[in-house]
Structures are given as C-alpha cells and as structure tokens.
Amino acid sequence: MRLSALTGALALTLSLSGPLHAQSKTDRASVEWGAEMSDKKDGVFGSVFGHTDDAVYMTVFMKKERFVRKMDTGHRVQYQKLLPMEIGKNDHVLERIVLSGDKIIVFSSFFDKKEKQNSLYGRTFNASDMSPAGEMQKLSSFSVERNRNQGSFSVHASPNDEVFLVYQSLPYEKEGHERFELKVLDNDLKTTWEQRVDLPYRDDEFGVQSFRVDNDASVMMIGNKYAEKREAKALRKDGKATYTYHLLVYRGDGAEPDDHAVEVPDKFLQDLTITLADEGDILCGGFYGAKGSFTTSGAFFLRLDRNSKEIVHSSFKEFDKDFITMYMTEKEEAKATKRAEKKGEEVEMYDYELREIVVRSDGGAILLGEQYRFYTVTTCSSTPNGGQSCSTSYHYVYNDIIAINIDPQGNIEWAAKVPKRQHTVNDGGRASSYALVVKGTDMHILFNDNGKNLFLKPGDKVEAYRPGKEALITLATIDQDGKVTREALLAVEKREAITLPMSAVQIGDDRLFIFADWRKTHRFGTVTFN
C-alpha cells in the first residue's frame, strides 16, 4: 500500500542560513543524503515502481533508453539493467512495471498497423539481478478497424501485488454502450478469469472513473451514472445532483455485476475513492458539496463488506464556516462570505480532491485531501505580416491540505487543515503537493514552502512557495487530537534544487526514501522520523 508521496527541495547541509535564522528546526526527523549522481553518467531518474524494507526499485533514462535500477536503503546502486522496449523490430509502449514478491513484471503493448491489432504482452524478471525469468507472453489482443480508434489497455495490481487486472477498452462505437474486456491474471501471468463486458448503461450516461482488483480476484469499478437530459434539467433547477456514483462488482462468473448506488440525499458527492487494505473491510471516502460538483462543504466515509461489497457503515462531517475560512485573510473571508450571501448559499471550499485513504494499525483511517486546480492561459499578439502568434502556458495550483481522522468504528472524529500555496507554470507541478508519513498516532506532512509561513497563524496571509532564498521544506505534524505543529525540516542551500512530489516511498515504519535534483545532478536521501 502506498503511504506517501514526497515534495521537498535538496539540501546538502542542515544549516539554516540567510533570512531563515529565526525559523524553528525540527527535532522530529533527520535527513541523510547519498552520494551526488550525474544525469549524464548515471541516468535521469524516472519513477519508483516498487520497494521492500531493504531496497527501492526505479526506472532511469539514459541515451533514450530505459533502465531498471535497484538501490539499497543506504543509497547504493545494486544494479542498473537495460529494459529493452524494442522487441524484435517492434517498438513497444510501456504500460506498467510491478514488483511482485521476488519478480519484476513488465507489461507493454504494441499496435500492429499492418494486422490492425492492438496487443498486450508480459515479461518476468528476477528482482535480485534483473535476469529474465521466462519468455515474453501475449496476454491480450483485439482487432482495430481504424488507426485513430485503437482502444487501450491499463493494468491494475491487487493490494498484495499478486493479482493483476488487465482492463481492455475496446474501440468506441457511436451511440452504443461502453464496451470493454476484463482479464484477471495471477503473478505467473496465467489467466484466472476473463469476461467481455457491456455496461448496463449507454456510453453517454455513464462515465467510468476507476478500477480496483482485490486479492480474491474480484474486480470493482467506480463510475458516474448521469441523469437523462430532461431529468437532469429538473434536478439542476431544484439544486440537486445530476449524477450518482455507482460501484459495480465483477467476479468472473459471467453474471451481471452487483450494482451498488452510493448516494447521500441532497449532496453532490465528489472524488469517491476506494482503498483496499491487506485485510478487513473496503474503505471508501470523498468530499461532498451542497450546491455543485466543484464546491466542498463536508467529507464522507463508508465501510464496505469485503465479500459482499455492501455498505455496512457510513459517516459524514459538515465543515463549519470557521474551518472553511481558516487561514483566509480578513479580505479573503469577506469576499467569500459576500459571494455566498449573494447566491443565498453557505460558504464552501473549491477544487478539493481526495488524494489517499491511509489505513491505521488500530483499524481507523486517515483521509488526505488537497486543493488542486489546473488551467491554461493563451496569449496572442499580432505579427508584422498581419498574422497572429499565440502561446499557451499551463498553470498548476496545489494549495491547502485537509486531514480527516476516522476512528476504528468508522466515524469521523475531526478534520484539520494545513495551509500552503504552490502555484507553478509549465512544469507539471513537479515541486508541488506533499508527502505523508504515518508513525504511531502522528501524521507527518512534508512540502515545499515559503519560510515566511513557518509561524503562520489563522488570519495571516499564506505566502506562496517559490524556488530561491525563501524556500524551505516544512514538516507539519498532526497529532492524535488534530493539533497541527509546523517546523522547518531543511533549508535550501542550493537554491535551484527540486524534488519530484510523487517520488518518495515510506520504508518500514519510520523512514522516507526521497529524491532531489539540481541542474544536471541528483541525489537520493532518507528522512528518518524519531
């Protein structure tokens, strides 16, 4: 289970210099960095695809080739082996890499234009040394009538990484039902079951959101069922949701799926997210709004029976005005209140997404949400010859974090807010978002921040993070009662250093494996929590 994702910045010393003298340095955690590595000589870091308590497995790129690197927790490279994607004379597309026990399983696809066929393949390697552990296998394929309508594959792993779902989206048929095939494999890539599926809804009234495969080889699909045009118009007029979340469960027996509607009266559910723990009930949660799908006024949490997938417990928490306006300036709060009053509505929050559900050892859970928005800005100017030149910039906004604590009985106990402001342009948001580490009863959240925010109080203006002399990594700790403490983890000594938000993995109970780059070099490090 994924427990964390890092954002931060490289620091080669632990000193706090320049304008950061007054900041509080945490004693909750320490950082150890490995040796500096060269992008040209050692390869450019791609992403982590698996880890154990003793090693981390990742992809790196060098000279237009992809390699698999195994690194121990002391930041030493154990091997770096080429992962060939040109198979024979065919260039394959990587779909997914999974660490499954002592194996590395590589899923790739190839579209044969001549035969008009799209196919998925699987290869297995020994995790100890990346040596081949068998021949390539064709796992699935389908015919394609037009090159522009090829369909697609996606691969999903179960919580124990021993069962795999291949979701095969078939070419679109106008005004038809959405069609796809499900194939479930074991970790020897043998088919457990497969089924051709026609959704019980038309393509224009149902949107597939996500899939999960459980350790028992059952498959869950989350989707939105939209009301028909006339009904939707009436619902909008009454201020009601025009869609309903559905959980469809397939078991490979050829029968129609179990179809569970997830509804809360008079609420717009958002970001319905499912987490499958290694054992116990299925956990489901998200946010809801009173007036629309982009506004947030509260959170909900559901428990589903692991076998039947039926909802066995539900809990809801409305966010009050004080919580919603916390860390707004007086001017921002007045503006938000005036806007709500003008519409005859309560104050709500905007653009929140549920990032993850973390299962605690006591049977409780933590919901982590983040305010996220992506938008583009296109500017045009006239050229000397009377034409027009346009350019588009891409904006990534990652703001406040919400942590919601669920007790072992499944009830929402409290919600806490961690303020931050991260707005970057044309970088994919690579230095934004946060890392989460859960140790005991505490949640530790790491993120790139502005040093001026370290002693932030409600009502203070939250300064935006920007690379440079004011940047630092903030460690926000939330205790078992929802109290938030902010401290400095590291100051940024090399001012242009950046880490990738989704690159860290929690190793064991108290360590976070992190990555940072600076110009044409990079380092790996470990944050150890005391």
Overall average pLDDT of the 180-205 stretch: 87
> Average pLDDT, stretch 413-424?
93
Look at residues 81, 7, 10, 8 and name the one whose alpha carbon lies nearest to residue 492.
10
Beta pairing partners, 70: 57, 79
Question: Measured between alpha carbons, how far is 291 from 145 in angstroms, rounded to an integer?
Answer: 43
Provide the pLDDT for residue 88.
Answer: 85
Residue 291, pLDDT above cutoff 90: no
In whole angstroms, give the CA distance from residue 9 to residue 518: 9
Cα separation of 360 and 285, whole Å? Answer: 15
Model pLDDT for residues 347-379, shown as the tens digit of each residue: 878 888 999 998 887 888 999 999 999 999 999
pTM comes to 0.85
pLDDT tens for 175-191 read: 556 678 899 999 999 99
Q: Distance from first CA to last CA of the chain, Å, rounded? A: 22
Domains of the chain: 18-529 (2.140.10)
Out of 228-242, 348-362, 421-435, which region has the weakest mean confidence (pLDDT)?
A: 228-242
According to the model, what pLDDT value does residue 150 have? 65
Helix (H) or strand (E) holding 220: strand 219-226
Question: What whole-number distance in Å separates Cα of residue 248 and Cα of residue 414?
Answer: 30
Alpha helices in 291-438 (DSSP H): 321-325, 330-343
Does residue 245 have a pLDDT over 80?
Answer: yes
Residue pLDDT, tens place only, 142-155: 888 766 666 788 99
Would you tell me how many other CB atoms lie within 10 Å of the CB of residue 334?
Answer: 12
Average pLDDT value for residue range 74-101: 94
Token pair, residue 379, equals 């500017």
Average of per-residue pLDDT across 411-434 = 92
User: Residue 4's pLDDT band (boundaries 50, 70, 90)?
Assistant: very low
pLDDT value, residue 402: 94
Indicate if the pLDDT at residue 11 is higher than 60: no
Q: 484-497: per-residue pLDDT in tens?
A: 999 988 765 544 56
Average pLDDT, the chain: 84
The mean pLDDT value for 274-297 works out to 79
Torsion of CA 288, 293, 295, 299, to 10 degrees: 10
Number of C-alpha atoms within 13 angstroms, CB side, residue 383? 7
Tell me the three state secondary structure of residue 406: strand
Given a cut of 90, is residue 128 above it in pLDDT? yes
Burial classification of residue 80, based on how many CB atoms lie within 10 Å of its CB (0-12 exposed, 13-18 middle, 19 or more buried): middle
Phi-psi region of 152 (alpha: psi -120 to 50; beta: other; left: phi over 0): beta
The more confidently predicted of residues 253 and 497 is: 253
Q: Which two tokens stand for residue 370?
A: 């983040």
104-119: average pLDDT: 91
- pLDDT in the model for residue 445: 92
What is the pLDDT at residue 492?
53
Which are the contacts of 277, defined by CB distance < 8 A and separation ≥ 6?
1, 159, 283, 359
Note whether 405 and 411 are within 8 A (CB): no
The pLDDT value given to residue 419: 93
What the block records as the tokens of 23 is 């900041």
